[in-house]
């Protein structure tokens, strides 16, 4: 693949993506490259270590790039597929992590999102600072109560990685309002 027709300094593609502000981190740059979302001089890039000229034309076709995590695209697909709208609802995000699901919910008009995760300091700063987000860090969903979400929620979303939905859902469903909807990712290693 020709990275540029001119000579000059050459740098790794993943580093170049960060330097140009196309990707926030090298890890996100590598991910975008490996998913075929980066085009250099008209050709799809496949290797993060590919050397490119400083003036190489680079284009990103990465729908995940605008979100704090790729997980956002999973929820976008789920909401669109099922026709659910979070607009105006208080919503519980179980396993919020960096906040991909939370970000989509806010973007689509959720009134409030309770971002629950057993971990600490994972939620992206942009979401921590958002007035509609209520973080519940260090909270194991099995210990969730109505007090944690100030009553009932109109919807529940979940993309948990280290616990089965069989354990995570009962406490979450206990805080759901009648008629609430949910989008849950099922992990084969658990279910």
pLDDT at residue number 35: 87
Query: Which contiguous run of DSSP H or E holds residue 93?
Result: strand 90-94
Dump pLDDT digits (tens) for 51-79.
Answer: 999 899 999 987 777 888 889 999 999 99
CATH 3.10.290.10 fits 10-63, yes or no: yes
pLDDT tens for each residue of 153-179: 999 999 998 888 989 999 999 999 999
* Token pair of 42 as six digits: 């008209």
- Per-residue pLDDT tens for 18-47? 999 998 889 989 998 998 989 999 999 999
pLDDT for position 87: 98
The reported pTM is: 0.76
SS3 content of the chain, % helix, strand, coil (to 5): 30, 25, 45
First to last CA, the chain: 43
DSSP string, 30-53: HHHHHTT-EEETTEE---TT-EEE
| Domain covering 71-184: architecture | 3-Layer(aba) Sandwich (3.40)
pLDDT in tens, 83-119: 999 999 999 999 999 999 999 999 999 999 999 999 9
Report the pLDDT value the prediction gives residue 1, as an integer from 0 to 100: 46
Going from N- to C-terminal start, the domains of the chain cover: 10-63, 71-184
- Band (pLDDT 50/70/90 cuts) for residue 191 is low
Mean residue pLDDT across the chain: 91
**Tokens linked to 103:** 């970000």
Residue 143 has pLDDT above 80, yes or no: yes
pLDDT, position 146? 95
Tell me if 48 sits within 8 A of 29, measured CB to CB: yes
């Amino acid at each position: 693949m020709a990275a540029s027709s001119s000579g000059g300094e050459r740098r790794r593609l993943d580093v170049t993506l960060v330097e140009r502000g196309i990707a926030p981190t090298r890890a996100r740059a590598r991910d975008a490259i490996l998913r075929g979302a980066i085009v250099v001089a008209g050709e799809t890039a496949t290797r993060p270590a590919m050397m490119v000229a400083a003036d190489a034309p680079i284009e990103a076709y990465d729908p995940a790039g605008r979100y704090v995590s790729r997980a956002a695209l999973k929820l976008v697909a789920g909401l669109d597929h099922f026709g659910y709208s979070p607009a105006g609802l208080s919503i519980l995000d179980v396993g919020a992590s960096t906040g991909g699901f939370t970000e989509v919910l806010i973007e689509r008009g959720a009134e409030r999102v309770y971002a629950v995760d057993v971990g600490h300091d994972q939620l992206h700063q942009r979401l921590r600072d958002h007035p509609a987000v209520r973080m519940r860090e260090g909270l194991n969903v099995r210990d969730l109560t109505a007090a944690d979400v100030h009553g009932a929620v109109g919807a529940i979303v979940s993309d948990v990685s280290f616990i089965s939905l069989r354990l995570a859902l009962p406490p979450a469903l206990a805080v759901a309002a009648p008629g609430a909807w949910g989008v849950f990712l099922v992990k084969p290693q658990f279910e």
